[in-house]
A and B are shown apart, each in its own frame.
Chain A
């Protein structure tokens, strides 16, 4: 396992604004593992919502900022598979469409150092046992961007299996999309809701207390559905489970 890696946290705009505990968990976790965490305050948003809704120019402006802010770091971590996928998949296309070869080159260079949390832990820092304690029954939903975008595979599950006290239960039809889809959730609310209900039905069938994923945006949709149904299942980001230890709360 590597020590003393200097990691920049790209917290993402959604986590920054709505789920600060996820960002704090990443900071706590990486420091506990002996790494240095920095939060460059010039960061804002990766531009995912803009590019995926049909506003590539706005996304390109946000991409330029991202590239400047994070260009100097050895490793960048984001607790959001979909934001990392935006950087990795969409940025090269946006830069190519902008017709700026220097930007394209810089974007590709920076994108190569941006990791989802489980990629950073398993591939870069070389650990699956992060010393966490979480005495709950948990089921894991592999979000579309972690599964088919970043191909995270079983990395999150390997991390969860090492958490002491945690009972991991398998989610039926796990690979199915939850129906969030960014602005899809408000543009096509009926279909989005139908998909969400099918997903939470599977979640409830596992008997888990906690639904875990690597993306708070999908969890907002599923958590909102679970809460409306009074299902009694909480949604918790992977980072917060991995940051939990015996003495302190998550």
Chain B
């Protein structure tokens, strides 16, 4: 991950502490996540065999990842045979270079974009801007984020941190700078806001000749790319322009159309809480006289093969970006996405970002700890990623790779005490004897506890001391 926009950010605890103070943000998040949660639960519960579908999806992803080398070559051959051109990008810089070069070769100075996590991950918009090319986001929420000079805070609902009053204000302030202005009498009625966005975007679709997209799936057997969306703006981008450039992470590959059917059932139910999403667009290379006549596929690694090498961590690559884990996460719900300092927020971000970017920065090393391990994420994940397992695994790596000096000493001391019952007994006896001297406010990092919570009283006698004194609890 390039992560250049996130460089030098403070760690999760500081960022989240600021976020939880924002009452408006917490209200917006609580309302939005609760609504999606309820919808998701209803359409998952009605599935005849959710555990079975989940297991099938997990199995397909694991099998594909085990033989990814083979499926990627098959995909490349199929895309090429269908008239597309495949490019391989090892990292963000290479992917951006390829895309900028392809746009420049068309002679165009602007592109329309379909909502795409991969292009945000590599910072493509910024790379295009440096080359004098304007990227127009066309997903409604991404448009709100772009006009608001903001960053996305949710995978599916990037502007989840905004309510409609804020959106109205953004439209009125910024739409004119980017194209057709918002109507002067714009209200915060959702229909009025959608209409303003529709008029603004329609002008863009009709005049732009190059589109950039990601993809939800790539079917290796036919070289077909698949995008699922709700608005139809993606379909506009995928069909109207002359040139289409798709930047897709290598883990989005699935072997067959039959495999795709499993995900077409799981993804909309898990993400928007719908039985079926309104628009599913598929395209295979180019079709003469229909849709874009030039198609480029940029296959993005950017750390993914490193993730694949980690036997525990690799399950994160199963992710289909549904964001069900965000909506149920009690931590995400109170901090919002920005605290995670990555385009991938929430529980999946806490295990994906440190693996893709490494844990050199303070922020990335703090992400595996941004969870209570409550397990709600694992329960809803449609591809059964055991997020708590990966978090615990990454914490061990964080301890190895970065500072934690004071904590290491404390943990070593705790281990020393707990390794021998006699030492534990002595520690308990000391605690019992000096219990009145324990301050109500603890110093250092432990002050994090006593700032808001009282400590439990330490008893005079431990359980084991009682057991011994009463001769095996015979009291």
Q: Decide yes or no whether A193 CB sits under 8 A from chain B.
A: yes
* Bound CA–CA A176/B446 (angstroms): 25
Q: A39 to B372, Cβ gap below 8 A? A: no
Q: A144 to B372, Cβ gap below 8 A? A: yes
CB-contacts of B445-469 with A (<8 A): 445-446, 448-449, 451-456, 458-459, 461-464, 466-468
Q: Decide yes or no whether B148 CB sits under 8 A from chain A.
A: no
CB-contacts of B373-387 with A (<8 A): 373-376, 378-379
Q: B399 to A55, Cβ gap below 8 A? A: yes
Q: Chain B nearest CB: distance from A212 CB in Å?
A: 16
Q: B463 to A190, Cβ gap below 8 A? A: no
Q: A13 to B418, Cβ gap below 8 A? A: yes
Q: Decide yes or no whether B369 CB sits under 8 A from chain A.
A: yes
Q: Decide yes or no whether B343 CB sits under 8 A from chain A.
A: no
Q: A190's contact among B17, B431, B462, by CB below 8 Å, is which?
A: B17
Known: A39-B473, A187-B369, A223-B456. A177 touches B330 (CB 8 A): yes
Summarize B's interface: helix, strand, loop or mixed. Answer: helix
Q: B389 to A185, Cβ gap below 8 A? A: no
CB-contacts of A122-174 with B (<8 A): 144-145, 148-149
| Chain B contacts for A47, CB-based, 8 A | 418
Q: Chain A nearest CB: distance from B240 CB in Å?
A: 44
Q: Decide yes or no whether A220 CB sits under 8 A from chain B.
A: yes
* Bound CA–CA A247/B330 (angstroms): 42
* Bound CA–CA A41/B334 (angstroms): 43
* Bound CA–CA A52/B46 (angstroms): 35
Q: A144 to B472, Cβ gap below 8 A? A: no
Q: B420 to A17, Cβ gap below 8 A? A: no
Q: A16 to B464, Cβ gap below 8 A? A: yes
Residue of chain B at shortest CB distance from A189 = B448
* Bound CA–CA A181/B344 (angstroms): 22
| Chain A contacts for B404, CB-based, 8 A | 54
How many A residues face the partner with a CB closer than 8 A?
68
| Chain B contacts for A44, CB-based, 8 A | 418-421, 424
| Chain A contacts for B16, CB-based, 8 A | 188, 190-191
Q: A181 to B376, Cβ gap below 8 A? A: no
Residue of chain B at shortest CB distance from A197 = B452
Q: A23 to B463, Cβ gap below 8 A? A: yes
* Bound CA–CA A194/B13 (angstroms): 13
| Chain A contacts for B407, CB-based, 8 A | 53
The stretch that binds B, out of A56-64, A100-108, A201-209, is A56-64
How many B residues face the partner with a CB closer than 8 A?
64
CB-contacts of A52-87 with B (<8 A): 52-56, 58, 61-62, 65
Q: A190 to B13, Cβ gap below 8 A? A: yes
Q: Decide yes or no whether B262 CB sits under 8 A from chain A.
A: no
Q: Decide yes or no whether B414 CB sits under 8 A from chain A.
A: yes
Q: Decide yes or no whether A49 CB sits under 8 A from chain B.
A: yes
Q: A15 to B473, Cβ gap below 8 A? A: no
Known: A62-B418, A144-B373. A16 touches B462 (CB 8 A): yes
* Bound CA–CA A65/B423 (angstroms): 14
Known: A187-B13, A191-B335, A225-B453. A144 touches B375 (CB 8 A): yes
* Bound CA–CA A44/B421 (angstroms): 6
* Bound CA–CA A176/B327 (angstroms): 12
Cβ proximity bits B394-422 to A, threshold 8 Å, 1 near / 0 not: 01111100001001000110110011110
Q: Chain B nearest CB: distance from A176 CB in Å?
A: 6
Q: Decide yes or no whether B12 CB sits under 8 A from chain A.
A: yes
Q: B374 to A177, Cβ gap below 8 A? A: yes
Q: A186 to B456, Cβ gap below 8 A? A: no
Q: A58 to B455, Cβ gap below 8 A? A: no
Residue of chain B at shortest CB distance from A147 = B375
Residue of chain B at shortest CB distance from A195 = B330
| Chain B contacts for A58, CB-based, 8 A | 411-412, 414-415
Q: A227 to B454, Cβ gap below 8 A? A: yes
| Chain A contacts for B378, CB-based, 8 A | 148
Q: Decide yes or no whether A42 CB sits under 8 A from chain B.
A: yes
* Bound CA–CA A21/B427 (angstroms): 19
Known: A177-B376, A189-B449, A228-B452. A43 touches B421 (CB 8 A): yes
Q: A179 to B452, Cβ gap below 8 A? A: no
Q: Decide yes or no whether A7 CB sits under 8 A from chain B.
A: no
Q: Decide yes or no whether B134 CB sits under 8 A from chain A.
A: no
Q: A93 to B389, Cβ gap below 8 A? A: yes
Q: B419's contact among A37, A65, A186, A227, by CB below 8 Å, is which?
A: A65
Known: A176-B330, A191-B16. A15 touches B372 (CB 8 A): no
Q: Chain A nearest CB: distance from B445 CB in Å?
A: 6
Q: Chain B nearest CB: distance from A108 CB in Å?
A: 17
Known: A144-B373, A177-B374. A13 touches B453 (CB 8 A): no
| Chain A contacts for B399, CB-based, 8 A | 53-55
Q: A39 to B452, Cβ gap below 8 A? A: no
Q: Chain A nearest CB: distance from B333 CB in Å?
A: 9
Q: Decide yes or no whether B361 CB sits under 8 A from chain A.
A: no
The listed residue with most A CB atoms (<10 A of its CB), out of B392, B407, B421, B463, is: B463
* Bound CA–CA A61/B13 (angstroms): 30
* Bound CA–CA A27/B475 (angstroms): 10
| Chain B contacts for A98, CB-based, 8 A | none
**B interface vs A, CB < 8 Å?**
12-13, 16-17, 20-21, 26, 330-331, 334-335, 368-376, 378-379, 389, 392, 395-399, 404, 407, 411-412, 414-415, 418-421, 424, 427-428, 431, 445-446, 448-449, 451-456, 458-459, 461-464, 466-468, 472-473
Cβ-closest 5 pairs across A and B? A181-B372, A224-B453, A54-B395, A189-B448, A190-B17
Query: Could you jot down 13 A-B contacts, CB within 8 Å?
Result: A16-B428, A17-B462, A18-B456, A18-B458, A20-B459, A39-B472, A181-B373, A188-B13, A188-B331, A190-B20, A194-B26, A220-B456, A227-B454
Given pairs A39-B472, A55-B399, A184-B373, 15 additional interface contacts (CB within 8 A): A17-B428, A17-B463, A37-B473, A39-B463, A39-B464, A44-B419, A53-B399, A93-B389, A184-B369, A186-B449, A188-B17, A189-B448, A191-B17, A194-B26, A195-B334
**A interface vs B, CB < 8 Å?**
11, 13, 15-21, 23-24, 27-28, 37-39, 41-45, 47, 49-56, 58, 61-62, 65, 90, 93, 144-145, 148-149, 175-177, 179-196, 220-221, 223-225, 227-228
